[in-house]
Amino acid sequence: MPRILLSDYDFHDLALEEALFASQGIDVVKAQCRTEDDVIRAAQGCFGILLQYAPITDKVVRALPQLGIVSRYGAGFDTIDTAACERHGVWVANSPDYGVGEVATHALALALALVRNVVAYNRDITAGEWHYLSSGPLKRASDLTLGIVGLGRIGKRMAHVSRNVFGRVVACDPYLIDGDFPAYVQRAPTLAALVGQADVISLHVPLNAETRGLIGADVLAATKRGAFLVNTARGAVVDVDAALAALADGTLAGLALDVLPTEPVPRDSPLVGHPRVILTPHAAFFSLDAERELRRKAAQNLATWHKTGRPEYVVTAGTRKPM
């Protein structure tokens, strides 16, 4: 019987995937792979890998000649070496459009929690303090500028849901033509120009060689004093040490992170319990409906490839064919 490896997952159960694959006559091997060797061991004899965060590297692809396709739960595919997959003819698929609204509203929720001091007020009340000035002064949201870095699927939705909240929305995306900017979004020509004018910066870029550490000491040095930074993209886009230094020197007034370079966040990280930091556990994508759609689409890529030789959502096309 043909089989796939479900290499790692943090869902409570896998009933949806098991039912989908059973209906197609495909066996499922379940594992919690963290390393390349874990994946290589577990994927023996599998035509496909359905993964959350497991590493799919050149070493993995080279060691699995029977592998035809890998499909990622989610939009991002930064744990997959797509160039290596392409070289070896392995298809790469993802599920890019299941939670666009969820991530955008989560980013807006984090931005507003910072702007309105929501988490700080709650902390102060828990500590016995009840006063509207307990967490410092607040500015009017309609006087603030929202700066969006990466105006793709989620960035555009963020602009849409935020446009009546903030006074102005600006965005920086060097890969879009002017015509792809909605009329209510002003174009910042560079990242430096964006961070120099935004009161709230929200990150929506993919993680790749260009964006790793994109928000580092130099960009923060050009950032408007007292800005808020929200990251729902990928943890490694922000240099956390530089962001903590910017919080300490007042460049940043607050930081909200749904994604972190190491997940889960280490208990002893200075981010945990920091009075000006809000953390959520890589949950921006989540709603019950979005999770179901994510899982169905990511799994269906494998079943469809097995039947037709091509998945629904192609990241990079391969040359290997189902046997």
Is 312 tagged catalytic? no
**Binding test (CB under 6 A) with ligand NAI, winner from 2, 89, 101, 206:** 206
Q: Give me 138's structure tokens.
A: 């607040």
Is 282 tagged catalytic? yes
Q: Does 2 bind ligand NAI (CB under 6 A)?
A: no
Amino acid in the structure at residue 155: G
The tokens 């499909």 sit on which residue? 71
* Phi, psi (deg, nearest 5) at residue 227: -75, 160
Ranges assigned E (strand) in the chain: 3-6, 27-30, 48-51, 69-72, 91-93, 145-149, 168-172, 186-187, 200-203, 227-231, 252-257, 277-279, 314-316
Least distance to ligand NAI, CB of residue 34, Å: 20
**Binding test (CB under 6 A) with ligand NAI, winner from 33, 109, 233, 247:** 233
Span 40-79, contacts to ligand NAI by CB under 6 A: 74-76
Q: Which stretch binds ligand NAI (CB under 6 A): 122-130, 226-234, 245-253, 270-278?
A: 226-234
Q: Give me 128's structure tokens.
A: 């016995």
C-alpha torsion 268→255→258→186, nearest 10: -160
Least distance to ligand NAI, CB of residue 61, Å: 21
Longest pairwise C-alpha distance within the chain: 68
Amino acid in the structure at residue 115: V
Q: Which residue, 148 or 247, has its beta carbon nearer to ligand NAI?
A: 148
Q: Give me 321's structure tokens.
A: 């064919």
C-alpha torsion 11→12→14→15, nearest 10: -140
Q: How far apart are CA 243 and CA 227, in angstroms?
A: 11
Q: Which stretch binds ligand NAI (CB under 6 A): 56-64, 111-119, 123-131, 202-210?
A: 202-210
Least distance to ligand NAI, CB of residue 209, Å: 10
Is 234 tagged catalytic? yes
Binding mask 107-146 for ligand NAI (x = CB under 6 A): ----------------------------------------
Q: Does 173 bind ligand NAI (CB under 6 A)?
A: yes
- Catalogue the active-site residues: 234, 263, 282
Which residues contribute to the site for ligand NAI (CB under 6 A)?
74-76, 96, 99, 103, 149-155, 172-176, 204-207, 210-211, 232-234, 258-259, 282, 284-285
